[in-house]
Structure 1
């Protein structure tokens, strides 16, 4: 398949991060013939953290990023969603699966969802509830100001299997995040739709200090749908610690989506 006919990969970062955090992955995806597109949303380092929410993140990603790729550019899309990005991307992709879009006479669709240690929330559930109703100690609430939070120590929690020499660079990639994004309810997720059967993949990060694999297992089980699960013996950021291996796995997932 030529590069022009391959789907665009939409990169949706987790909380506290931006699409630039995927930069280490990009050369390998480019080498495999894939174009990528950043999938940012408003709750990361907002000017007013009281004015954002999970549902607004979802609407922004859908209306400002995802639908223009599908409707204006006519591009099929595969979404890679990391951590909280799973909440945002899950809602944004609702009713955009290939089967659904084809029935509507649309040519371009979301042909697959790939979660990397992705948060899974049900319709109307907040991430705060999904993680057990309490913030872990590494989430520093109302820091650096009211309504925001940061992760400290970032290296130990997010990058525990990454090269320590990268710490200054990695630290710059971390941004404060609005607490309301975590505490407000998410909208209905796309992954729950039968049209995404065979189009859901999950990279489970076994040495994750942020989203422990036991918590990932709970999310997968409560989703009540089938995911193609592949284990990576990494921390929370395999696109930093094992970008080549992750890119190879992503292309395998996409090959399966395309063949379906």
Structure 2
């Protein structure tokens, strides 16, 4: 049995991943899905990338300090949070310090694998897509935001209209400044066992962005395993069984 911590995306809550996490548990794994505080409903927001970072670092630290080996799964914005939060918690780093437990692997599920000093907006701007932001996201004056087209841009094809509508109903208003927060740390520099699930039809984090993240991590010395899933931005919903199998194989070493 493996211990997973899933860091969810913007707008999402743990319930958004219920089918995926149930499938992992049925495969014999322990799964934790802490709710990020940037989706706590506060207006104006009282939590951001750095608040989410503190939460995840504390949560994962409590597991590894108890001697647990943890694989961290990250979806979408969850990649920014995990990358920023987990530096120094890798199993190899802790073993070198004479400590037990640690993060043994990182799995980015169409997630933002950024570098220190970089924000998601920086990536968007570097690709010449900054003008797309207000077209895709509806920002209120308090900087909370929702997608202008969650069915087309966020979820994508693969499930019935009724199932997709039920999924979208779980999504919450989120502090959109998470897209602009710059990373202060970079976990994949010392946790080099990395898996990446590439969503080929993603309209939120396009495939060329995803491939660029893989290249950057490989150039940084990571051993990156990749899988392509023919779906949109939410493969843990539209292809949850396939992604659960991928994650299971990742920790099983296959």
Structure 2 length-normalised TM: 0.90
Aligned twin of 1:3: none
Q: 3-state SS of the aligned residue for 1:140?
A: strand
2:46 pairs with 1:54? no
Aligned twin of 1:36: 31
Superposition map of 1:1-260 within 5 A: 6-63=1-58, 65-71=59-65, 73-132=66-125, 134=130, 135=133, 137-142=135-140, 146-161=142-157, 162-193=159-190, 196-197=191-192, 199-223=193-217, 224-225=219-220, 226=222, 227-256=224-253
- Between the aligned partners of 2:43 and 2:117, the Cα distance in structure 1 is 23
Kindly state the Cα deviation for residue 40 of structure 1 after the two structures are TM-superposed.
2.4
Aligned pair in 2 of structure 1 residues 150, 229: CA closer, same or farther (>3 Å)? Answer: same
Contact preservation (8 Å) 1:43, 1:53: yes
- Between the aligned partners of 1:183 and 1:131, the Cα distance in structure 2 is 10
Size of the aligned set, in residue pairs, is 245
- Between the aligned partners of 1:235 and 1:172, the Cα distance in structure 2 is 18
Kindly state the Cα deviation for residue 49 of structure 1 after the two structures are TM-superposed.
4.2
Kindly state the Cα deviation for residue 184 of structure 1 after the two structures are TM-superposed.
2.1
Q: 3-state SS of the aligned residue for 1:88?
A: helix
Shifted more, 86-95 versus 24-33: the winner is 24-33
Structure 1 residues 6-62: Cα deviation after superposition (integer angstroms, max 9, x where no partner):
331101111111122111112321121101001322212441445433222212210
Kindly state the Cα deviation for residue 136 of structure 1 after the two structures are TM-superposed.
5.5
Contact preservation (8 Å) 1:49, 1:179: no
- Between the aligned partners of 2:142 and 2:88, the Cα distance in structure 1 is 36
Aligned pair in 2 of structure 1 residues 158, 50: CA closer, same or farther (>3 Å)? Answer: closer
- Between the aligned partners of 1:27 and 1:179, the Cα distance in structure 2 is 29
Contact preservation (8 Å) 2:41, 2:172: no
Q: 3-state SS of the aligned residue for 1:221?
A: helix
Contact preservation (8 Å) 2:201, 2:231: yes
> Superposition RMSD on alpha carbons, in Å?
1.8
Q: Point out where structure 2 has 5 or more consecutive residues left out of the alignment.
A: none
Q: 3-state SS of the aligned residue for 2:153?
A: helix
- Between the aligned partners of 2:176 and 2:45, the Cα distance in structure 1 is 9
Structure 1 length-normalised TM: 0.88
Q: 3-state SS of the aligned residue for 2:125?
A: coil
- Between the aligned partners of 2:82 and 2:35, the Cα distance in structure 1 is 10
- Between the aligned partners of 1:207 and 1:14, the Cα distance in structure 2 is 17
- Between the aligned partners of 1:136 and 1:35, the Cα distance in structure 2 is 39
